């Protein structure tokens, strides 16, 4: 089987300014990688999310506020880091709608019991977005929305979300910390932005945090991820979701974890080897703000996903 990439040049219209870390150049870097290394795979255009779909996670008043504050010119700041411009809204809607489309395609193609893989190259990222608060470059929590949507299907009873972005996915954790149908596992620099993600945060026995000290090298990362996530979770899942951030790469300017490209293959493969099998996977881009670090990390992640699709 092939990887299914959900992406579109519409994301070039979400202009945050050239000096902002989460800028249109990130999309160009990823598009170049997909074109050069994965051109034989499937490419799918996202669709816009509906208001009701976004409200699976977010308060309706908050969603209206996001939409109403899209500027007619210049920039609007939802917080000091999170920016919209006149054409941002369609990217926001594509990021949510494209994620849901990935799951709906699994249903339509009767692929909920095989190792199909989707990767969503969306902008902006979303794992920091809270139920009624924009944070960390994102306004809607794409991965939380797709999980809530998937749980409406009777064949999906338990979901694993794995987040290896260098920043803890505070929004995702808070949304699901009392929902035992969703397990959330995160490795991240700690203490660091956004300030959450200690090992004591366990939710309803469904939260598994792996905090990493600044300057953690590859070998220590692997040992800690094994102990705090792989060894602690013993459950079968119907769907695996990845919040795939590549800012833990040693080159990244926004953090201080020293992973190398092989670590992103390792972490993806370790999750799929233990929890995968004949179940689908949907991964979506979160962070990664150095060109080479983003390309190296994402390429390794996609190689592991490609290898998973080859499992018989």
Q: Is 197 left (phi over 0), alpha (psi -120 to 50) or beta?
A: left
Locate 252 and state its tokens: 């990244």
Q: Where are the alpha helices (DSSP H) in the chain?
A: 24-37, 51-54, 60-68, 88-108, 142-150, 170-176, 218-225, 261-275, 291-309
Q: How far apart are CA 16 and CA 214, in angstroms?
A: 28
- Torsion (CA) 224, 226, 229, 230 in degrees, nearest 10: 180
Q: How far apart are CA 162 and CA 98, in angstroms?
A: 19
From the number of C-beta atoms within 10 Å of its C-beta (0-12, 13-18, 19+), residue 43 rates as middle
Q: How far apart are CA 173 and CA 128, in angstroms?
A: 9
- Name the catalytic one among 128, 149, 174, 249: 128
- Identify any residues that bridge with 159 across adjacent strands, giving them in sequence order: 182, 239
| 128 in active site | yes
Mind telling me the catalytic residues? 128
């Amino acid at each position: 089987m092939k990887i299914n990439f959900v992406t579109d040049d519409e994301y070039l219209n979400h202009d945050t300014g050239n000096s902002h870390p989460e800028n249109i150049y990130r999309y160009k870097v990823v598009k170049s990688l997909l074109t050069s290394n994965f051109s034989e795979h499937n490419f799918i255009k996202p669709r816009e999310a509906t208001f009701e779909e976004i409200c699976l996670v977010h308060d309706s008043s908050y969603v209206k506020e996001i939409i109403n504050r899209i500027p007619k010119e210049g920039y609007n700041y939802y917080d000091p880091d999170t920016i919209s411009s006149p054409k941002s809204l369609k990217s926001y809607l594509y990021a949510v709608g494209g994620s849901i489309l990935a799951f709906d395609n699994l249903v339509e193609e009767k692929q909920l019991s095989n190792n199909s893989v989707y990767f969503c190259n969306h902008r902006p990222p979303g794992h920091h977005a809270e139920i009624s608060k924009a944070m960390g470059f994102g306004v809607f929590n794409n991965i939380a929305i797709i999980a809530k949507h998937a749980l409406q299907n009777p064949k999906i009873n338990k979901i694993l979300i794995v987040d290896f972005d260098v920043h803890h996915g505070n929004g995702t954790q808070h949304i699901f910390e009392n929902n035992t149908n969703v397990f959330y596992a995160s490795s991240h620099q700690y203490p660091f932005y956004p300030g959450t993600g200690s090992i004591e945060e366990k939710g309803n026995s469904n939260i598994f945090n792996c905090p990493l000290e600044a300057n953690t090298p590859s070998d220590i990362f692997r040992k800690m991820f094994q102990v705090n996530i792989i060894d602690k979770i013993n459950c079968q899942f119907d769907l695996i979701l990845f919040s795939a951030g590549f800012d833990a790469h040693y080159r990244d300017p926004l953090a201080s974890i020293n992973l190398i490209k092989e670590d992103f293959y390792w972490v993806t493969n370790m999750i799929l080897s233990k929890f995968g099998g004949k179940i689908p996977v949907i991964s979506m881009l979160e962070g990664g703000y150095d060109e080479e670090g983003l390309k190296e990390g994402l390429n390794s992640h996609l190689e592991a996903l490609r290898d998973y699709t080859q499992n018989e």
